[in-house]
Amino acid sequence: MGQVLSSQVPLPFYQGLGFLAVPAVVISIEGCLNLALSIWFANLIGLTGVALATALPAVISLALLPPYLCRKLEVPLNQLFRSLVPGIVMLIGTIAVEILLATMFTSVSWVALAMRIAVTVPLALVIVGLMFPRDERETLSRMLGWPPLAGAHETVGR
């Protein structure tokens, strides 16, 4: 997850702004370190070592790349962290519900999967409603073809 947040999500920003050199070097070092640690840890502790070897280098990207992007965009690092809060709440809430549902519905059938989705989607909508900024909620509502949110004003020309 750290690698996704630090490398994959901001990649379009790096590309669009011409800042790809530093992330490319960091990700290349991460890849080489991942390979070396995977070979070494696989011999020491097996498959768990390979997983660990993947996670450790991702910490490097997570520590270096978000501050780099914030400096380039002239955005305070704490603002980046504040913007992640709704997504983190969504992740934690969804994982908690899925763990609870996995204990209740041990079946791996299509019906059990449908029931898990039927419970998880409303939770996600509640979190979006409570935590996401109004403009993002309105954009999501338009994308889904839902009516405008209560109290939302239509913009001229739409």
pLDDT tens column, 53-108 = 888 888 888 888 888 888 888 989 888 888 888 888 888 988 898 888 888 777 77
The ranges assigned to domains in the chain are: 1-75, 77-158
Q: What is the pLDDT of residues 120-132, one digit of tens each?
A: 888 888 888 888 8
pLDDT of residue 76: 92
Measured between alpha carbons, how far is 149 from 134 in angstroms, rounded to an integer? 9
Q: Is the pTM of this model over 0.85?
A: no
Measured between alpha carbons, how far is 113 from 129 in angstroms, rounded to an integer? 24
Q: What is the pLDDT of residues 26-67, one digit of tens each?
A: 889 988 999 999 999 998 998 888 888 888 888 888 888 888
Measured between alpha carbons, how far is 109 from 14 in angstroms, rounded to an integer? 42
